[in-house]
């Protein structure tokens, strides 16, 4: 199963390192990643593989939300199919 992780917030040092380390600890592989800085705002979207994850998707989403609050970012996780359905018009 794959999921989409989105991260948005004011740019600061170490965002990618903190999030990728967090995911690695949960045995989640990053398949693709795109990030950019828009003015002072950091934005990132990742496609991740949850097939070996040691956490359920719902729990991952909640833990990512909590991590985001800790580091001052907004982090959302969605199943890939739901993300694709929401963004197809």
Boundaries of domain holding 66 = 2-86
What's the pLDDT score for residue 63? 97
Q: What is the pLDDT of residues 27-62, one digit of tens each?
A: 999 999 999 999 999 999 999 999 999 999 999 999
Instruction: Indicate which CATH number applies to the domain containing 46.
Output: 3.30.70.260
* Phi, psi dihedral angles at 58 (to 5 degrees): -60, -40
What share of the chain has pLDDT > 90, as a percent? 85
**pTM summary value:** 0.86
pLDDT at 6 over 80: yes
Q: Per residue in 7-25, is it b (16+ CB within 10 Å) or e — as a string?
A: bebeeeeebeebbeebbee
Q: What is the DSSP letter of 20?
A: H
pLDDT at 80 over 90: no
């Amino acid at each position: 199963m794959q999921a989409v992780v989105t991260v948005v917030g004011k740019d600061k040092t170490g965002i990618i390192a903190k999030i990728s380390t967090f995911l690695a600890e949960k045995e989640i592989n990053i398949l693709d990643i795109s990030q950019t800085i828009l003015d002072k705002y950091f934005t990132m979207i990742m496609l991740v593989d949850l097939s070996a994850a040691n956490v359920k998707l719902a729990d991952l989403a909640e833990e990512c939300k909590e991590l985001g609050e800790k580091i001052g970012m907004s982090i959302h996780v969605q199943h890939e199919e739901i993300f694709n359905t929401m963004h197809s018009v």
